[in-house]
Chains A and B, each alone.
Chain A
């Protein structure tokens, strides 16, 4: 249990709270969970009044301490993804910090460790991509041959996902991934494996599709959080359009679609 004398200064406390919140957002937490985690951490540190504002691309916190001092920090979020192992670690760190089980220095160190956590070996991700794309191809009505073609096309897409651009334009990256998946899917179909290019493409695009972002946008609308919902919806539609552009370009190369 940490004592009040071990509380850091306001700026350090806010930095660590925002580090946790920022990375939770990057790794797939919804905005409500992030706002809740940051609020709890700040309240635990003697904050008298707190305002947290979070959307998918921005996190900002303003606090007033019990001595009347004000502080404000913000973070611009450049990428969102899903890393649920790291999210679980960060959630655990924030809870332990709020319970007083760890100090802010410990939390700072643990956040850095959590940001490097990789729960599985690289080979397992490729096996998962093969299983996932073929399973969803069959789930949406594809034949076993379509599933096999989708599985082959999933491997280079997964490679690009794992070794792709960490920074840069996500939309261009998505077009390239979809185009590569489409080219391989079409090539495998040309070799006589599979029957329906659309179902093969659907299997591959499940690796890329922001379907959950679409669902989360609706969830935000239902909760009357129109700003967060609109941002997610537009982003999801843009990404889906980029995926289809990439796949359509690959079909154009194989003469399956004409302008």
Chain B
């Protein structure tokens, strides 16, 4: 649990930092900071519970992050992209892409295939999670949250 909390804290700080780098307005920064916590905590928790199942963990984390961002977008009256891009940043397979390209440059095909496949798996997980959250937006949030206004 200590590792999960440490990774969550690092993910939250990293998300906040990248929200600034991506020029998110000051009034939204706190929400991106919390969003980074949501995605990182769920990712780390599920990776631990599922014994490292990257696809499932990333789908669930991206879905939770996506739903959080859609709710933020309605409440803060801003496009969901503003919250979504920084919030999903901790899921980005930077480590795998780095090692796959390092392996390519150093002629290590097995390492390249392993890491590249992992990067594709994680990216596919993020894409499916975001797609599911957009369906949740259409069928749940827009029906109940928006109609109540």
Contacts and interface: CB of A to CB of B under 8 A. Distances in A.
Contacts of A247: 102
B20 interface: yes
B16 interface: yes
Interface residues on B, range: 35 or more
B28 to A, nearest CB: 8
Given A131-B17, A201-B98, A82 B22 contact: yes
B52 interface: no
Contact of B131 (A140, A214, A223, A245): A223
Which 5 pairs across A and B sit closest by C-beta, in order of nearness? A211-B92, A132-B17, A218-B127, A128-B20, A135-B14
A211 B78 contact: no
Nearest to A86: B23
Contacts of A125: 20-21
Contact of B94 (A85, A119, A209): A209
B124 interface: yes
Contact of A132 (B18, B106, B120): B18
Contact of A218 (B21, B26, B99, B123): B123
B84 to A, nearest CB: 9
Interface string A106-142: 0000000000001110001101111110011011100
Interface string B79-102: 101100110111111110111011
Interface string A55-94: 0000000000000000000000000001111111001000
Given A131-B14, A202-B98, A244 B123 contact: no
A29 interface: yes
Contacts, number: 157
Interface of A: 28-30, 33, 82-88, 91, 118-120, 124-125, 127-132, 135-136, 138-140, 158, 198, 201-202, 205-207, 209, 211-212, 214-219, 221-223, 240-241, 243-245, 247-248, 257
Contact of A128 (B21, B40, B91): B21
Contacts of A209: 92, 94, 97-98
Nearest to A242: B101
Contacts of B89: 211-212
Interface of A: prevailing SS: helix
Contacts of A33: 79, 81
Task: Name the residue among A140, A205, A219 with the largest chain B CB count within 10 angstroms.
Answer: A219
A84 B22 contact: yes
Contacts of A158: 21
B98 A84 contact: no
Given A85-B23, A132-B14, A215-B88, A206 B94 contact: yes
A248 B105 contact: yes
Given A131-B13, A218-B124, A222-B131, A84 B81 contact: yes
A202 B101 contact: no
B79 A88 contact: yes
Task: Name the residue among B13, B79, B120 with the largest chain A CB count within 10 angstroms.
Answer: B79
Task: Name the residue among B17, B92, B119 with the largest chain A CB count within 10 angstroms.
Answer: B17
A248 B104 CA distance: 11
A98 B11 CA distance: 38
B8 to A, nearest CB: 9
Contacts of A136: 10, 14, 90, 94
B24 interface: yes
Task: Name the residue among B6, B82, B89, B101 with the largest chain A CB count within 10 angstroms.
Answer: B101
A243 to B, nearest CB: 7
Contact of A217 (B23, B105, B123): B123
B47 interface: no
Given A135-B14, A139-B7, A215 B98 contact: no
Given A29-B81, A139-B11, A241-B101, A129 B92 contact: no
Interface in B1-48: 6-7, 10-11, 13-14, 16-26, 40
